[in-house]
Structure 1
Amino acid sequence: MIPAEDRAEAGRPPARVRHRRVFYVPGYDPRSPRTYFLLFSRELRKFAALHGITARMRAGKEDPATSWHVTADWPGGPVKTTVDCLSWHEIAVRDFAVPKWRVALLSLRVLWDAVWTGTVWRMLRLNWKFGIFSLYPWGMALLYALAALGLVAACLTLAGAVGLPRLAGLAPAALGLYGLLRLTEILDRRFFVWYLINDWIFTWRHRTRRDPEADARFESFARRVADAAEDPSLDEVLVIGHSSGSFVSISIVARARELMREVEGRPRLALMTVGGNTPIAVAGRQPSPARAAMQALVTDGGMLWVDYFAPQDVLNFPWLEPVAAFRLDLGGKPPRNPSVRSARFREIFSEERYAEMAYRFYELHFQFLRANDRHGEYEFYRFLAGPEPLESVTREPG
């Protein structure tokens, strides 16, 4: 845990935020930004009801798909926030269009890379629950492969049993394999095997710089963040990365810090990662852009980075202290970031909701983006529309 007095040196946060710019970085998700617009609009109303205020959200005129305006009427005056959804869903859509047989072959290379670079062993040592669940799609893929081999063997055996050449069983085997492939796609609506394998492949490409399309997209995002962070009319610029968007947002903010100029009266820049799975991108022995970006932000005293986790969520990594976990070489500089904090799901959600979500892993992972049932430090929509800057909310030990 980084002490609050050591986390930031320049540009103290304002006592009260009136104008904020938020850049929301989703995870690896083929759904369009409209999904998040509808989610944020619905949950903002619940947040407002909990606090007894009025809050509204509307799409921007220039870019209604990804730019949204939030106004919250607090007793001390309104807070206005512009939310930019830094969507990269086209990357996921592109990946999901790749034939499954090619995905399967590429996944073997990615798995070998994760083993050879020590990523798998490091994740298991750091947190066995997260490590095991990260390997879940590979376990399911092995079951699918065994089912395919069993199907082929059964067809060949049946052909021989009825007096036909055994190779005659290849025709029905091919039809059966096609049907099995279609079945796995249907099952993915519940088990997310292909989804998680594609997520692993994207992370591998990002880590090894094999995705120029994604790199160009993230570079443009960094320039937008840097431009906003030079706007003196803003009180706070906040970048929020969820799930795989955590390590993407780390890369974006690190690049934005390189692009930023020193402007008098510029707003406070802060990064908040929630439900992050950064070890998949950083834990290996080999250097990577995400690792270099993380190393830069850890020692950056000119901005704030807060990392929220939920130990109940197997899709995120709890209590991740990057310097110790990844053996970062800080070159003698003191660590400034991140402040690692629990979202305390047990305290902020009702017993009924908590029990309902306990074994629905994907839904539990998205509770980070939902309104609370009870007041607490972690309130996603207070970070978006509240009058306090992030640093004031997270000043006390987490």
Structure 2
Amino acid sequence: MTKDKVTVTRRRVFHIPGYDPIHPRRYRELYRSEGAAQSKTSGYQIAVQAGSRDESFHWWAQAQIDGQSVDARIDVLVWSDIVRDSMAHSIPATYRQLIQTAWIYISTGTLRRLMWMRKGPVIAALYPVGVLLLQLLIALQLGWGLGRLAEAALNGAVSGVGLGGGLFAAIIGWLAWAVKLGILGAVSVFLLRWFKKHDNRIFAHYLMHDYAFSAQYRGATPPELSARLAGFADQISEALEDECEEVLIVGHSSGAHLAVHVIADLIRDGRVPAEGPALAFMSLGQVVPMVSFLPEAKQLRADLAFLATREDLTWVDVTAPGDGCCFALCDPVAVTGVTPPGKHWPLVISAAFTQTLSAARWKKLRWRFFRLHFQYLCAFDHPKDYDYFQITAGPLTLADRFRGRAPSKSRIDVPMSKYTSLAP
């Protein structure tokens, strides 16, 4: 299942972000600041150096952990440009997305089955629907109210000068009606644009685009993303020929199911050398069921089943019940209903935010849902066996670090999906 224990001196790490339009520089600076905080807490040393600009976006981490020196190159596999393009929709198009996405999840029965597992991510999915509808209602009501006031004022002015009656009165009535509709439209457009401009505070448009992107092909991978994933596989394949002890793929949030596709393709294509570096996969805060439960996610379901039995892979799935934006402790293979004979991946464990964060920090972060969703990439006050920086820049392979580790007793591994067909 795993190779003999080795000491890692060089590691290649590939980070696949979730649906994030921000430049990958954000991840480097997060690694730098949070790595410094974790090393101070845990008593090791880690330094971060930017990589050369003429290559894919990456940085170097040099660490001294447990008396061992480790060099790690960390590449961000970028698809933020695809994310930005998918978010470049007009306001009417966003509301059309809302209707289409809601219909797909409700009509297929997927939404109901997702709620059987964890209500947190389903609430997160319904949040943009509720907020966008509320924004539309506020805009229409305010526009209609101001239009009514303008109509009444115009009719009152005409009556006040005694010009009522006959054809002129009818013209004034039509004019007042047109003014009311004009004000309704102008105020509604202004408010909806204002809401969108300030979406960086409430994330309603952002989340709507996120769920719509995953659902637009009813679970199948969008063509432009498929081409990008093939490029990711090429980058990782080159690293597997490198002189290092481990190649680690990290998939965060929706990046987890993208990583599943990439790794499955690499292994099927015979691009994982038998005598090469150890191949490891760590899924963090995954939302795999949001896609794998959809009817056309046949390739994703096939890839999940394929990776579940691989002996040339170590797969650890890390979530936390305190993260309301993920399917915490839900085994993505099992709940999707594609458990094959001989399944032994993933190892499902909890980052246990309530135990690994101090009481003061947990109190501060508890209701900051989006920040908590990124906690897996950050420092912990009382880290246990999950320490992102020791995993990415420490001397142990992922296999050795979690060797003998029992899965979480609270994991959910009951089949839930209505759709279980696999791609041939």
Residue 4 of structure 1 corresponds to which residue in structure 2? none
2: CA distance, partners of 1:390 / 1:339: 11
Please give the TM-score of this superposition, normalised by the length of structure 2: 0.85
Spell out, residue by residue over 1:81-102, the C-alpha distance to the aligned partner (whole angstroms, 9 max, x if none).
Answer: 1111112111121122221221
Give the whole-Å Cα distance in 2 for the aligned partners of 1:390 and 1:43: 20
Structure 1 residue identity aligned to 2:281:
L
Aligned to 2:200: 189
Give the CA deviation at 1:200.
0.6
Answer whether contact 2:19 2:83 (CA < 8 A) is retained.
yes
AA matched with 2:358: S
**Distance across 2 between alignment mates of 1:236 and 1:110:** 40
Matched, 1:334 2:342: yes
Alignment partner of 1:125 is 2:116:
yes
Matches within 5 A, 1:109-258: 109-162=100-153, 163=155, 164-165=173-174, 166-205=177-216, 208-209=219-220, 211-231=222-242, 233-258=243-268
User: Structure 2 CA distance, aligned partners of 1:337 and 1:268?
Assistant: 16
SS at match of 1:135: helix
**Could you tell me how far apart the structure 2 residues matched to 1:117 and 1:226 are?**
37
Q: Distance in 2 between matches of 1:277 and 1:366?
A: 13
CA distance in 2, matches of 1:296, 1:169: 61
In structure 1, which of residues 376, 386, 393 is the aligned counterpart of residue 384 of structure 2?
Answer: 376
- C-alpha separation between the residues in 2 aligned to 1:340 and 1:384? 18
Q: Which runs of 5+ in 2 are unaligned?
A: 156-172, 408-424
Question: Match of 1:55, as an amino acid?
Answer: I
Distance 2:345 2:51 in 1: 33
Separation (CA, whole Å) in 2 of partners of 1:42 and 1:281: 33
Q: 1:258 to 1:301 in 2, by over 3 A?
A: same
**In 1, Cα distance between equivalents of 2:334 and 2:376:** 26
Kept in 1, the 8 Å contact 2:280–2:398? The answer is yes
User: How well do the aligned residues superpose, as a CA RMSD in angstroms?
Assistant: 2.1
Contact 1:34 1:65 in 2 (8 A): no
Q: Does 1:268 align with 2:259?
A: no
Report the alpha carbon displacement of residue 59 of structure 1 after superposing the two structures with TM: 1.6
1:351–1:101 Cα change, 3 Å: same
Distance 1:279 1:240 in 2: 18
Q: Tell me how far apart the structure 2 counterparts of residues 361 and 276 of structure 1 sit (CA, whole Å).
A: 14
Match of 1:56, as an amino acid? A
Separation of aligned partners in 1, 2:193 and 2:213: 23
Deviations 1:259-299 (A, max 9, x none): 33363421111110111111111122444332222222123
**CA distance 1:182–1:380, shift in 2 (3 Å):** same
* Greater alpha carbon shift after TM alignment, 314-323 vs 81-90: 314-323
- In 1, the alpha carbon distance for the partners of 2:83 and 2:297 equals 24
Q: Is the 8 A contact 2:316 2:345 kept in 1?
A: yes
Q: Distance in 2 between matches of 1:109 and 1:265?
A: 48
* In the alignment, structure 1 residue 104 sits paired with structure 2 residue 113: no
Query: Partners in 2 of 1:119 and 1:50 — Cα distance?
Result: 43
Q: Distance in 1 between matches of 2:334 and 2:116?
A: 12
Alignment of 1:5-44 (within 5 A): 9=1, 11-44=2-35
Tell me the distance in 2 between the aligned counterparts of 1:378 and 1:329: 26
Distance 1:292 1:145 in 2: 40
Using the alignment, how far apart are the partners of 1:113 and 1:262 within structure 2? 37
Q: Check conservation: 2:219, 2:296, Cα contact below 8 A.
A: no
Moved more, 13-22 or 361-370: 13-22
Change over 3 Å in CA distance of 1:207–1:103 after alignment to 2 = same
Q: State the alpha-carbon separation in 1 of the partners of residues 311 and 70 from structure 2.
A: 27
CA distance in 1, matches of 2:244, 2:267: 17
Question: Which residue does 2:58 correspond to in 1?
Answer: 67
Name the aligned partner's letter for residue 306 of structure 2. Answer: A
Amino acid at match of 1:283: F
Q: AA paired with 2:225? A: A
Residues of 1 paired with 2:240 and 2:107: CA distance? 40
Q: Greater shift after overlay, 109-118 or 294-303?
A: 294-303
Contact 2:101 2:216 (C-alpha < 8 Å) held by counterparts: no
Equivalent residues in 2 for 1:86-97 (5 A)? 86-97=77-88
Identical pairs, percent:
31
| Aligned-partner Cα distance in 2 for 1:262–1:321 | 25
Offset from partner CA, 1:148-171 (integer Å, 9 cap, x none): 332353355335433243232121
C-alpha contact (below 8 Å) 1:281/1:291 kept by paired residues: no
Letter in 2 for 1:363: R
1:397 paired residue among 395, 406, 409: 406
Unaligned runs of 5+ in 1: 1-8
Tell me the amino acid that sits aligned with residue 85 of structure 1. Answer: V
1:369 counterpart letter in structure 2? L
Show the 5 A alignment for 1:274-293.
274-293=284-303
Distance 2:274 2:339 in 1: 32
Q: Does 1:58 align with 2:40?
A: no
CA distance in 2, matches of 1:292, 1:183: 43
Match of 1:346 among 345, 348, 354: 354
* Residue of structure 2 aligned with 1:298, choices 281, 297, 308: 308
How many Å separate the matches in 1 of 2:65 and 2:289? 39
Cα deviation per residue 1:189-224 (whole Å; 9 max; x = unaligned)?
A: 221100100101111246544632221111100122
C-alpha deviation, 1:357, in angstroms: 0.2
Letter in 1 for 2:238: D
CA radius of gyration, larger in:
2
Query: What aligned pairs does 1:301-316 form with structure 2 within 5 A after superposition?
Result: 301-316=311-326
Task: Give yes or no for the alignment of 1:355 onto 2:366.
Answer: no
